[in-house]
Chains A and B, each alone.
With several copies, the nearest count.
Chain A
Amino acid sequence: MTEKSGPARLTLSRALNEGLRRALERDPKVLIMGEDVGKLGGVFRVTDGLQKDFGDTRVVDTPLAESGIVGTAIGLALRGYRPVCEIQFDGFVFPATNQIVNQLAKMRARSGGHLKLPVVIRIPCGGGIGAVEHHSESPEAYFAHTAGLRVVACGNSPDAYTMIQQAIASDDPVIFFEPKRRYWERAEVDTGADLSSALPMDRARTVMAGDDVTVLCYGPMVRTCVEAAIAARDGAGEARSIEVVDLRSLSPLDTGAIAASVRRTGRCVVVHEAPVFAGLGAEIAARVTEECFYHLEAPVLRVGGFSTPYPPSRLEEHYLPDLDRVLDAVDRTFAF
Chain B
Amino acid sequence: MTVNADGAAAAAPYPAAPAGPPGPGREPEPAPELVQLLTPEGEPVEHPEYAIGESADEIRALYRDLVLVRRIDTEAISLQRQGELGIWASLLGQEAAQVGSGRALGPRDMAFPTYREHGVAWCRGLDPMQLFRLFRGVSNGGWDPADHNFHLYTIVIGSQALHATGYAMGIQRDGAVGNDPAGADGGTAGEAVIAYFGDGATSQGDVNEAFIWASVFNAPVVFFCQNNQWAISEPLEKQSRIPLYHRARGFGFPGVRVDGNDVLACKAVTRKALQAAYAGQGPTLIEAYTYRMGAHTTTDDPTRYRLQSELEAWKLKDPIERVKAYLVRAHGADAGFFQQIDREADELGERIRREVRSMPDPGPLEIFGNVYAEPHSLLAAERDQYAAYLDSFADTEQEAAQ
Bound complex: CA A255 to CA B157 (Å):
38
Contacting residues of chain B (176-218) with chain A, CB-CB under 8 angstroms: 200-201, 203-206, 209-210, 212-213, 216
Assess whether A299 is interfacial by the CB under 8 Å rule. no
Assess whether B364 is interfacial by the CB under 8 Å rule. yes
Residues of A within 8 A of B386 (CB): 306, 318
Interface size on A, residues (CB 8 A): 83
Looking at the assembled complex, report how far the CB atom of A8 sits from the nearest CB atom of chain B, in whole angstroms: 24
Assess whether B238 is interfacial by the CB under 8 Å rule. yes
Bound complex: CA A107 to CA B153 (Å):
10
**Which of chain A's residues has its CB closest to B168's CB?**
A75
Give the contacting residue for B156; candidates A91, A147, A148; CB below 8 A: A91
Looking at the assembled complex, report how far the CB atom of A141 sits from the nearest CB atom of chain B, in whole angstroms: 15
Residues of B within 8 A of A133 (CB): 140, 155
Assess whether A113 is interfacial by the CB under 8 Å rule. yes
Bound complex: CA A147 to CA B372 (Å):
9
Interface string of A165-182 (1 = CB under 8 A from B): 000001110000000000
Give the contacting residue for A72; candidates B165, B174, B304, B305; CB below 8 A: B165
Q: Which of B144, B206, B381 has the most CB of A within 10 A?
A: B206
CB distance A253 to B232 under 8 Å?
no
Bound complex: CA A120 to CA B203 (Å):
22
* A68-B209, A79-B174, A81-B173 known; A103-B231 Cβ under 8 A: no
* A35-B231, A111-B142 known; A63-B203 Cβ under 8 A: yes
Assess whether B233 is interfacial by the CB under 8 Å rule. yes
Assess whether B368 is interfacial by the CB under 8 Å rule. yes
Looking at the assembled complex, report how far the CB atom of A170 sits from the nearest CB atom of chain B, in whole angstroms: 6
Give the contacting residue for A131; candidates B86, B213, B232; CB below 8 A: B86
Interface-lining segment among B33-41, B130-138, B255-263:
B130-138
Looking at the assembled complex, report how far the CB atom of B129 sits from the nearest CB atom of chain A, in whole angstroms: 14
Residues of B within 8 A of A99 (CB): 159, 162, 206
Give the contacting residue for A98; candidates B171, B206, B393; CB below 8 A: B206
Interface string of A77-88 (1 = CB under 8 A from B): 111110100000
Residues of A within 8 A of B369 (CB): 112-113
Interface string of A33-55 (1 = CB under 8 A from B): 00110111101000000000000
Assess whether B141 is interfacial by the CB under 8 Å rule. yes
Looking at the assembled complex, report how far the CB atom of B202 sits from the nearest CB atom of chain A, in whole angstroms: 8
Assess whether B167 is interfacial by the CB under 8 Å rule. yes
CB distance B169 to A72 under 8 Å?
yes
Interface string of B368-384 (1 = CB under 8 A from A): 11111110111101100
Assess whether A202 is interfacial by the CB under 8 Å rule. yes
CB distance B137 to A95 under 8 Å?
no
Interface string of A304-336 (1 = CB under 8 A from B): 001111011111101100001100100000000
CB distance A67 to B367 under 8 Å?
no
CB distance B378 to A68 under 8 Å?
no
Bound complex: CA A79 to CA B109 (Å):
12
Residues of A within 8 A of B200 (CB): 63-64
Assess whether A232 is interfacial by the CB under 8 Å rule. no
**Which of chain A's residues has its CB closest to B87's CB?**
A132
Give the contacting residue for B166; candidates A79, A150, A312; CB below 8 A: A79
Assess whether B281 is interfacial by the CB under 8 Å rule. no
CB distance B232 to A72 under 8 Å?
no
Give the contacting residue for B366; candidates A38, A251, A315; CB below 8 A: A315
Residues of B within 8 A of A254 (CB): 377
Interface string of A266-301 (1 = CB under 8 A from B): 000000000001000000000000000000000000
Looking at the assembled complex, report how far the CB atom of A169 sits from the nearest CB atom of chain B, in whole angstroms: 10
Q: Which of A73, A132, A170, A328 has the most CB of B within 10 A?
A: A132
Contacting residues of chain A (6-54) with chain B, CB-CB under 8 angstroms: 31, 35-36, 38-41, 43
Residues of A within 8 A of B372 (CB): 108, 148, 150, 172
* A78-B145, A132-B135 known; A111-B152 Cβ under 8 A: yes
CB distance A79 to B144 under 8 Å?
no
Give the contacting residue for B209; candidates A65, A110, A171, A319; CB below 8 A: A65
Assess whether A193 is interfacial by the CB under 8 Å rule. no
Looking at the assembled complex, report how far the CB atom of B87 sits from the nearest CB atom of chain A, in whole angstroms: 6
Assess whether A195 is interfacial by the CB under 8 Å rule. no
CB distance A312 to B140 under 8 Å?
yes
* A63-B203, A253-B378 known; A314-B136 Cβ under 8 A: yes
CB distance A71 to B209 under 8 Å?
yes
Residues of A within 8 A of B203 (CB): 63-65, 68
Assess whether A57 is interfacial by the CB under 8 Å rule. yes
Q: A103-B154, A315-B367 are in contact. List 17 more A-B contacts (CB 8 A).
A: A31-B173, A43-B300, A63-B213, A71-B163, A74-B162, A78-B163, A91-B155, A95-B205, A98-B156, A111-B370, A112-B139, A115-B144, A131-B86, A133-B140, A253-B378, A306-B368, A315-B361
Which residues of A are in contact with B by a Cβ distance under 8 Å?
A: 31, 35-36, 38-41, 43, 57, 61-65, 67-68, 70-81, 83, 91-92, 94-95, 98-99, 102-103, 106-116, 130-135, 147-148, 150, 170-172, 202, 251-256, 277, 306-309, 311-316, 318-319, 324-325, 328
Which residues of B are in contact with A by a Cβ distance under 8 Å?
A: 86-87, 115, 134-146, 151-152, 154-157, 159, 161-174, 200-201, 203-206, 209-210, 212-213, 216, 231-234, 238-239, 299-300, 304-305, 361-362, 364, 366-374, 376-379, 381-382, 386, 389, 393
Q: List 13 A-B contacts (CB under 8 A).
A: A72-B166, A76-B170, A79-B170, A92-B156, A106-B140, A108-B371, A130-B86, A131-B86, A132-B140, A170-B373, A252-B378, A306-B382, A314-B362
In the A-B complex, the 8 residue pairs with the closest CB atoms: A75-B166, A71-B162, A79-B170, A313-B137, A72-B166, A113-B370, A40-B233, A171-B373
